[in-house]
Amino acid sequence: MRWIWMMAAVMLALAGCANYTPIGNRSVDSSYRHIGGPLRFTHGEARISVFVKIFETDKMLGLCGSYYVDGSGLQKSAMEGAFASADSALYLGKSKVSTLAFMREEYTKSYPGDEMAYCIRTNTPWDPAYSTAPIYVQWGSGRAMI
């Protein structure tokens, strides 16, 4: 019986962590900002591609995102864990607006138009400056600008 109460407490805590509402999927197209490049690991190298779109939805900040890791199973697993981590972050300028956990991982190498991105409405009010703000993605000890 005690474990039921512990599970209920954990579920409530996790529900409170989400700072966004899912709003569906969209095809990645030329309106997405993209970064790609090599990642160096202790046991080799992988390549990553990250696609992000910023938009207004119901006066709030909307985001769509997907990523692809081209590397060994171990390297892919490491990146999946890093993106899913609560320590991951997506910044617009200097403002942290989300974790990377919402992003969809693509399992095959594809190009804009072939990929789908997960989209969310954050709890951050829309600011027109977000449209042109630099985008930074951060995971573990890695950080990249889009």
Would you say 104 and 118 are in contact if contact means Cβ atoms under 8 Å apart? yes
- Residue 110 lies inside a defined structural domain of this protein: yes
Is residue 7 a part of any domain in this protein?
A: no
- Tell me which residue of 135, 129, 15, 14 sits closest to 64, measured CA to CA: 135
Tell me if 13 is assigned to some domain.
no
**How many residues are listed for the chain in this entry?**
146
- Give the integer Cα–Cα distance in Å for 19 and 67: 20
What CA–CA distances, in Å, run from 9 to 16, 25, 84? 11, 31, 21
How many CB atoms neighbour CB 39 within 10 A? 19
Residue 5 lies in a domain: no
56 domain residue, yes or no: yes
Sign, CA torsion 78/83/85/90 = positive
Domain that holds residue 67: 20-145
Render pLDDT for 4-13 as a digit per residue (tens, 0 to 9).
Answer: 333 333 333 3
pLDDT band at 120, cuts 50/70/90?
very high
Is 3 contained in some domain? Answer: no
| One-letter amino acid for residue 117 of the chain | A
Note whether residue 88 is domain-resident.
yes
Look at the chain and report how many structural domains it folds into: 1
pTM of the model: 0.78
At 23-57, the pLDDT tens digits run 999 988 889 998 887 777 777 777 888 899 999 99
How many other C-beta atoms can be found within 10 angstroms of the C-beta atom of residue 127? 14
